[in-house]
Amino acid sequence: MAATILRPTCAEIRLSAVRKNLQKLKKTAAPARLLFVVKANAYGHGAAELARLAERESLAWGLGVSSVEEGLALRGAGIKSPVLVLGSLYPFESFVEAINADLMVTIASLDAARLVTEAARRLGKKAVCHMKLETGMGRIGARKPSLLKIYDELSASGAVSVAGLYTHLSSADSDPDYTGLQLTIFSETAAELETRGAAGLTLHTANSYATVNYPVSRMDMVRCGIAAYGLADGFEPAMTLKTRIVFVKNMREGAFISYNNSFRADKPMKIATIPVGYGDGYIRRFSNKADVLIGGRRCRVLGNVTMDMTMVDVTAVKDAAVGSEAVLLGRQGAEEITAAELAAMADTITYEIVTLISARVPRVYVE
């Protein structure tokens, strides 16, 4: 039985937007395959539901997650598609769990190569892996000399199938020269692997931005997250964060609002309280800065955002009352609050704005 939801705060996810975005990415990438990156609960949009959509409608070849736990959650939700774990696995049991659940793993070190081989032998089941090359991201990945050794060990083991080689571009959206350098290192390594007899490896480097802007980066597969959620130019945002007013009051000139008297009314004002706060991922940095849409108008957040509630100026919205809809992210009438607008305000990126929407906010799926 579904949990009772009474609090009016929710993140509404438009499946039609995700569908359209995935179709566009798939078409752009073709003949390269599309790996739909659904890590971190699909950047806050709900991994199981969106993976189901992608699988049901063949919108992507497979799914990318960050950990074995995320992969197991997809399997638990009945997802049969190929799943690649993009993170570096630790400890040893992670490989056992991954192999058992048919999750493809990333191998970025000789130690990991040995552990996955051991795990596969113990289970008597072949592991499938993609090797990760360090080309300049400086996160996880083996440099060329150890990558070649990893390949030799894995291919000689008979226990592990090496299905792919990939790298991650650190600055596709900001530095074409550096991106070019990363792609050159990648292609040189791929060519060297080929001379060692590696055939049919799936080569992949592109994130969303590279998929759209660097055709050469598409290779055999692209790994897209942010554009699928509509938070890249030319794509349609899928998430609307909304709630309803739960309290309204009129305040005298000189009255204060929220912790630390963080707002003082310089005139009589009408104030609404909405049941959203930093406990929902609506971060405190929005205090006294962000707008919320009520009655189709922009209304300023007043005072510090609190854990569960936020106050908003509705002086100009005559019919604002308990029960009126408030949109914190997304459209209402002709107005829109974008993730980019909120990100700029908080000195961060759109990825963080949506990923931070916390687990207590129900995700509601609409067409």
Q: Establish whether 249 is a catalytic residue.
A: no
End-to-end CA distance of the chain: 23
Nearer to ligand PLP, 18 or 37 (CB): 37
Is 107 a binder of ligand PLP (CB under 6 A)? no
Instruction: Report residue 310 as tokens.
Output: 């936020």
* 157 or 217: CB nearest ligand PLP: 217
Inter-residue contact 127 to 135 (CB < 8 Å) = no
Give CA separation, 19 vs 177, 211, 225, 339, in Å: 33, 17, 13, 19
Q: How many other C-beta atoms are found inside a 10 Å radius of the C-beta of residue 232?
A: 22
Burial category of 64 from C-beta neighbours within 10 Å (exposed 0-12, middle 13-18, buried 19 and up): buried
207 binds ligand PLP (CB under 6 A): yes
- Count of chain residues binding ligand PLP (CB under 6 A): 10
* Least Cβ distance, residue 229 to ligand PLP (angstroms): 8
Nearest to ligand PLP by Cβ — which residue?
A: 225
In angstroms, the CA 74 to CA 53 distance is 12
Looking at beta carbons only, is 13 or 265 nearer to ligand PLP? 13
Asked if 28 is part of the footprint of ligand PLP (rule: CB under 6 A), the reply reads no
| 225 lies in the site for ligand PLP, by CB under 6 A | yes
Q: Note if 80 is an active site residue.
A: no
Structure tokens at 53: 């959509």
User: What x-and-dash track marks residues 142-181 binding ligand PLP by CB under 6 A?
Assistant: --------------------------x-------------
For 210, residues 6+ apart whose C-beta sits below 8 A from its C-beta are: 169, 172, 179, 217, 218, 222
Only segment of 117-125, 188-196, 224-232, 285-293 that touches ligand PLP (CB under 6 A): 224-232
Q: Which residue in 17, 190, 226, 311 binds ligand PLP (CB under 6 A)? A: 226
Answer for which of 28, 117, 208, 217 binds ligand PLP (CB under 6 A) is: 208
11 contacts ligand PLP (rule: CB under 6 A) = no
Which residue stretch of 225-233, 268-276, 328-336, 357-365 sits at the interface with ligand PLP (rule: CB under 6 A)? 225-233
Q: Please give the helix or strand (H or E) that residue 341 lies within, else none.
A: helix 339-345
Tokens of 352: 């963080």
Percent composition of the chain: helix, strand, coil (DSSP 3-state, to 5): 35, 25, 40
The distance of closest approach from Cβ of residue 25 to ligand PLP in the complex, given in angstroms and rounded to an integer, is 9
Applying CB under 6 A, the residues found at the interface with ligand PLP are 37, 86, 168, 207-208, 223-227
What are the catalytic residues? 39, 259
